Amino acid sequence: MVIHRVIRKQSKGIMKYPQSFIEEIKARVRISELIGRAIPLRRAGREFHALCPFHKEKSPSFTINDEKGFFHCFGCGAHGDVIGFTMDYEHIGYREAIEKLASEAGLSVPRETKSEVEREEKTKSLQQVMEVAAAWLEEQLENTGEGELARNYLRERGLTPETRSRFRLGYAPADRDALTRAMRSHGISEAQLIEVGLLIKVEDRAPYSRFRRRLMFPIRDRKSRVIAFGGRVLPGEPNADAPKYLNSPETALFHKGRQLFNLDLARRAAFDARALIVCEGYMDVIALAQAGIQHAVAPLGTAITPEQLQLLWQLVDVPTLCLDGDNAGQRAMARAMDLALPLLVPGKTLGIAILPKGADPDSLIREAGRPAFEGIIRDAQPLAALLWQQVMEQGAATPEARAAQEQTLMQKVEGIKHPTVQHYYKQYVRDRLREAQYQRRTPNARQNGGAWNASSGQKKWNATSGNAAQSSPVPPPPITRSSDMSLLTPASNLLALVVAHPGLLAEASAEEFWLHAPMPASWQQQLHHLITELHIDAQGISSVELMHSLAEEIAAEPINQMTQAMVALGVDLSKDEMVRTGRAERLWGEVVNDVERARVKVECAEAEAILAAELNDEKFARWMALKAQLEAIDRERSRFYREDPLIDATTHG
């Protein structure tokens, strides 16, 4: 098989890249996502199956394993990693495959220089230093009198010797020179200990141990190599008033913004559970693991970073942040949302689980047990719902305050860089705003047992609500569409709805959309301009008053055109007001979708013409982004038609 041959020859006559660089590529590019862009995949447990792209077959024998980072075909024997697949599937060389994957992973390709080779050798040497130091610290915890205080503390926290061993917990003694002396016996110099952050160098003084009188948590990379330490002060120690946690500094091995505690051990469990929990502290992760919840990690003493978020998304599509219910937890939630929103892509998001005030995963597991914690994780809120809650459910005493909330919400949504995800977030916000508007307009909506369906605007009636149907407004009839409706432009439909129900513009987001809506015909521009003026000058104007004002100012033909659109939509002024406004609310989302579709189609055609004139990456990327946005709008358009099937309007006068 060609792939075997290419992989074996990579080190012969081809530039040898640093092993750490190759590992970083493999860690950042999930093999199932890479291959899934080339061929259809079907999940089967922790693996994916497919028809082999390297030979003809009728039954799938091609498997992809994200945990191990390779593919294998049981039919033809093809086997390899992301580099091998890219080379063979795209028929390119090793260097070109590395450059392509590095670009996808956001990495710069290193040049082979003498200093680069030396740096790679130095890294291996420093990794050996950390391994020896970790073993010595373990020995200090388990087999010395000075480690007794730490052992007692861990017993009080409920950790077993097996758990201590699994996480390689250690203890740093009080003697500032003890580590130096011990490492010297292994041929490790002070300079090496300084370089890995275990010693602190001060001018005119001998180097001394960074960690003293602390419980030690080894921090490991994806291959379980110790690269740093976290140290915790113990209650009862003379330094108990020192900072509770102390981490290794940034070194050649350790970049805290790009690592996660327990990532190496949590990977397999995360693949099995298809879930990943992000806690705030080391002890939380360890307590969960001892309780049987192995798929938990923690950031390293800082708020979660973009690099750490990408690490999480490489393992699962929806990692869950587990935050304390206090003010600090609320601030952490806000930071996490602000970080995640610009980075969202289709299928990748966050869930956020809020613990009871005063509880953390460690204490909750010990006091209430695993089922209580798992229940909280199951109830994790999606990012979109929490964004709404954070911004819009804080109380607004005035219209200005409510408008400011909506403006803040839309600014956050517009920070989402992926156009399709941003589109659906805007749709979600519009639905929630319509729901809130309806509930404010009909205060007894929640008392009668019903609930508002934000996607269609339709009231869901509870059959067990007694006399609710008699005491509540009559729900609007099912949506019907005339077959002539397809002949009307989206702009005409938008004008028709606003005239039929001027209150639609009461919400800031709807008003903002209206103000920037494209009006291709001159008569539409006239109507749009006058309706906008009347909306601003006469808040609360009725449909009849609005139509009368328009008839006084504008010629008969534009009025006739708009009236035809109102009739076709079933929102003409001859309809009962409650029926007309309810119908207009239900059609609003669909008509907005039609207007957006028309606008994006024009922009897409323009982008295609520009691309044809001058082909470059930037213009191609814009054209592709617009196409993706148009596809998303079309999918949303089809949803409206599924929820409200076409019915001949003539049968529902």
> 92-123: per-residue pLDDT in tens?
878 888 888 988 888 888 776 666 667 777 77
pLDDT reported for residue 643: 52
CA distance 337 to 277: 16
Please classify residue 589 by burial: count the beta carbons closer than 10 Å to its beta carbon, then call 0-12 exposed, 13-18 middle and 19+ buried.
Answer: buried
Give the pLDDT band (50/70/90) at residue 15: low
Is residue 3 pLDDT above 80, yes or no?
no
- Collapsing DSSP to helix, strand or coil, 69 comes out as coil
474 — pLDDT class (breaks 50, 70, 90): very low
Phi, psi for residue 120 in degrees, rounded to 5: -65, -45
pLDDT of residue 437: 65
Distance CA 558, CA 615 (A): 43
| Joined tokens for residue 128 | 């050996």
Residue among 507, 457, 647 nearest 570 (CA) = 647
Q: Tell me the average pLDDT across 376-386.
A: 90
Does 462 have pLDDT greater than 90?
A: no
The predicted structure's pLDDT at residue 240: 65
127-172 per-position pLDDT tens digit = 899 999 999 999 999 999 999 999 999 999 999 999 999 999 999 9
Q: Is the pLDDT of residue 488 over 70?
A: no
- Strand 199-200 and strand 208-209: pairing? antiparallel
- The tens digit of pLDDT for each residue in 599-616 reads 888 788 888 888 777 766
Output the pLDDT for position 459. 32
Least confident of 3-12, 222-231, 534-543: 3-12
With a threshold of 0.75, does the pTM exceed it? no
Full DSSP string of 165-212: HHTT-EEE-S-TTHHHHHHHTTT--HHHHHHTTSEE--TTS--EES--
Which one-letter amino acid corresponds to residue 131? Answer: E
Distances (CA, A) of 637 to 9, 271, 595, 634: 52, 35, 11, 5
Size of the chain in residues:
653
Domains of the chain in start order, with CATH, are: 2-105 (3.90.580.10), 114-254 (3.90.980.10), 263-388 (3.40.1360.10), 483-651 (1.10.860)
* Alpha carbons 5 and 9: distance in angstroms, whole number: 6
End-to-end CA distance of the chain: 70
pLDDT at 513 over 70: yes
φ and ψ at residue 76, rounded to 5 degrees: -110, -5
Share of residues in the chain with pLDDT > 90 (%): 29
Which residues, 6+ apart, have CB-to-CB distance to 380 below 8 Å?
320, 351, 352, 353
Bridge partners (DSSP) of residue 62 are: 50, 73
Mean pLDDT taken over the chain: 81
Q: What is the pLDDT of residues 244-298, one digit of tens each?
A: 889 999 998 999 888 999 998 998 788 778 899 999 889 999 999 999 999 999 9
Q: What is the pLDDT of residue 304?
A: 87
DSSP one-letter code for 570: T
Q: Kindly give the residue spans of alpha helices, DSSP state H, lying in 12-92.
A: 19-28, 31-36, 82-90
Strand 296-297 and strand 320-323: the pairing is unpaired
pLDDT at 558: 86
pLDDT of 574 higher than 70: yes
Provide the phi-psi class of 601: left if phi over 0, else alpha when psi is between -120 and 50, else beta. alpha
Q: Tell me the per-residue pLDDT of 32-76, one tens digit each, with 9 for 90 and over.
A: 989 988 899 988 887 899 999 988 888 888 999 988 888 998 888
Determine the Cα–Cα distance for residues 155 and 147; give it in Å rounded to an integer.
12
Confidence of residue 199 (pLDDT cuts 50, 70, 90): very high
Rounded Cα gap, residues 530 and 550, in angstroms = 7
Of 639, 647, 632, the closest CA to residue 590 belongs to 639
Q: Provide the 10 A C-beta neighbour count for residue 364.
A: 22
| Residue 551 exposed, middle or buried by CB count within 10 Å (0-12, 13-18, 19+) | exposed
Angle (CA) 58-63-64 rounded to 5° is 140
Q: At what angle do helices 543-553 and 556-569 cross, to 10 degrees?
A: 150
CA 266 to chain centre: 19
Of these ranges, 279-288, 502-511, 554-563, the one predicted with the greatest mean pLDDT is 279-288
**How high is the pLDDT of residue 217?**
96
pLDDT at res. 136: 96
Is the predicted pLDDT of residue 11 greater than 70, yes or no?
A: no
- Cβ neighbors of 34 (< 8 A, separation 6 or more) are 82, 85, 86
Mean pLDDT of 514-526: 83
pLDDT at 2 over 70: no
Average pLDDT over residues 482-497: 65
d(CA 254, CA 256): 6
Quick one: pLDDT band at residue 542, thresholds 50, 70, 90? confident
Number of Cβ within 10 Å of residue 595's Cβ equals 20
Q: Which of 131-140, 239-248, 329-338, 441-450 has the lowest mean pLDDT?
A: 441-450
pLDDT of the residue at 4: 38
Ordered strands of the 70-73 beta sheet: 42-44, 47-50, 62-65, 70-73, 79-80
